[in-house]
Amino acid sequence: MASAHLDELPAEAELAAMLQPEVAGCYQCGKCSAGCPVGGVMDILPQQVVQLVRVGKTEELFRTETLWLCLGCGTCRSRCPNGIDIGRVIDLLRQCQPASVGRSTVKDIRRFHQLFVGEIWQRGRVYELGLLVRYKMLTAKVWEDLPLALRIMRRQKLRWLPSRVGTWRKIRGQIFRRR
């Protein structure tokens, strides 16, 4: 493959070195954790993510639930006195997580994001009904959210046929590449 740097997952030290400048200013004031909407259900808090990056323990971060529970809402970045964008750091960590590593409790979230991107690959737009059904079936959570789904369908909120970008199959190759 062309560039090893892009095609292979970086080693722990390499990844840490790449991320450390992003978190350099942190003085552990905890504002990020205080404002994080999902701090209460995370296994490690946003400020601990920062600290683990700083000490170079990115492997440990791959094994947290926090890695996939972060909403990317930007609250931490907005409130951090040093403008540290933890959501973005977490996104980059997600992209570097080896497929075989990670907590089984949050694998379904990773899978959801992949399904979502797969939807875009298919038609250029997301077909909500198809995505929901596929996710709930794949993760064996068919019953979860069923009342919501029924309520939504009764109100004819979901379309029955997907919308698509007309020329998508011609142009998607510029955005994605088939293996």
Partner 1 sequence: MSLLDFAYYPGCSLEGLSREYDASFRAVCQALGIGLKELAGWNCCGGSSAHAVDTTLALTLASRNLDLAGKEGKDLVIPCAACYHNLRQAEREKTEGKTNLAGGRSPGCSFRAPRQEVGEELPGPVVLKRASGVPQMRKTGEDGASSADVPRGKRPTVRLFHVNDFLVLPSVYERVKQSVHRQLSGLRAVTYYGCLVPRSDAPPGAVAAENPTSMDQILILLGITVRKWTSKVDCCGGSLGVTRPAVVRRLVADLLIEAHKAGANCMVTACPMCFVNLDGRQPEVLAENTHLRPLPVFYVTELVGLALGLHEVASWWRRHCVDPRPLVDSLELQLVAGPSLRPARSMPEAGTFDPEPT
What is the footprint of partner 1 within residues 55-114 (CB under 8 A)?
69, 71-75, 77-81, 83, 85, 88, 91-92, 94-96, 99, 108-114
| Stretch 39-68 residues interacting with ligand SF4 (CB under 6 A) | 46-47, 50
CA-CA distance, 164 to 127, in Å (whole number)?
9
List the one residue out of 110, 36, 116 whose CA is nearest residue 77.
36
Pair 30, 49: CB distance under 8 Å: no
| Stretch 2-31 residues interacting with partner 1 (CB under 8 A) | 5-10, 18-22
For partner 1, give the closer residue by CB, 55 or 176.
176
Residue 74 CB partners (closer than 8 Å, separation 6+): 85, 87
Interface residue list for ligand SF4 (CB under 6 A):
26-32, 36-38, 46-47, 50, 70-76, 80-82, 84, 86-87, 126
